[in-house]
Chain A
């Protein structure tokens, strides 16, 4: 009598313990999903910065990527899919950063090329014309 009751108790205890362990592992994996508000905000700021760097003209594909992902991040946030929202916002941020960096680099490259061309190239027709002396040349005599 004693042994059967004891055995049932022990069996139950073993099941409870294993159930609790599995539940612990499961919830430990899910506990990170909280509203990624700050990450979404950072992504928004980065997209705005890229916009101000004229990325829509100079790196349109990357800026479009960033904008699309930001919109999807907001949708995921509204649907309380926080892990998706965080990943999308982080991707949007890095895409916007790349768009801004590309825009800055292109502006700088164009400026450098203009300066270098000015220094190296022979004078243009208009410039040669303007450098000619105003008095008639001696050959005309």
Chain B
């Protein structure tokens, strides 16, 4: 009798714990913001102008993107992942603009050196 009752209590406790844990993470759900950021990053990574002229800026974008992906895989924290995806996308844009500035600076240097 005693062992029967205590096993019921134990079973309820386990069900309660599993239920409360699984509310946080609900299977494999895709995150559109994260996918958009990843696409933008991959396009930039394939652009030799950006890789050559703004490698460090692109690496920063990559770091943010990786943090977002890890957080999405582990915790499914929608607010934080969407925030990080936004930051990553903007960092890709910063890399693109930085590359354009360096390109213009290079042209200026060559043009300015002409007679």
Interface of A is mostly: helix
Asked whether any CB of chain A lies closer than 8 Å to the CB of B51, the reply is no
Asked whether any CB of chain A lies closer than 8 Å to the CB of B13, the reply is yes
The residue that B91 contacts in the complex, of A94, A108, A112, with Cβ under 8 A, is: A94
Asked whether any CB of chain B lies closer than 8 Å to the CB of A76, the reply is no
Which of B15-23, B30-38, B39-47 has 4 or more CB atoms under 8 Å from chain A?
B15-23
Residues of A within 8 A of B29 (CB): none
A108 → chain B closest CB, angstroms: 4
User: Is the Cβ of B97 less than 8 Å from the Cβ of A101?
Assistant: yes
B76 → chain A closest CB, angstroms: 12
| Bound CA span A90–B112, Å | 39
The residue that B104 contacts in the complex, of A7, A14, A22, A109, with Cβ under 8 A, is: A109
Q: Indicate with 1 or 0, residue by residue over A5-39, a CB within 8 angstroms of chain B CB atoms.
A: 01100110011011001100100000000000000
Which size class do A's interface residues fall under?
Answer: 20 to 34
Number of B residues with CB within 8 Å of any CB on chain A: 30
B80 → chain A closest CB, angstroms: 8
Number of A-B contacts (CB under 8 A): 77
Interface of B is mostly: helix
A10 → chain B closest CB, angstroms: 6
Q: Which residues between 81 and 101 of chain B lie within 8 Å of chain A, taking CB atoms?
A: 83, 86-87, 90-91, 93-94, 97-98, 100-101
A interface, CB within 8 angstroms of B: 3, 6-7, 10-11, 14-15, 17-18, 21-22, 25, 83, 87, 90-91, 94-95, 97-98, 101-102, 104-105, 108-109, 111-112, 115-116, 119
15 contacts between A and B (CB under 8 A): A10-B9, A18-B13, A21-B17, A83-B79, A90-B87, A91-B86, A94-B86, A94-B90, A98-B90, A101-B97, A105-B97, A109-B100, A109-B101, A109-B104, A111-B104
B interface, CB within 8 angstroms of A: 2, 5-6, 9-10, 13, 16-17, 20-21, 79-80, 83, 86-87, 90-91, 93-94, 97-98, 100-101, 104-105, 107-108, 111-112, 114
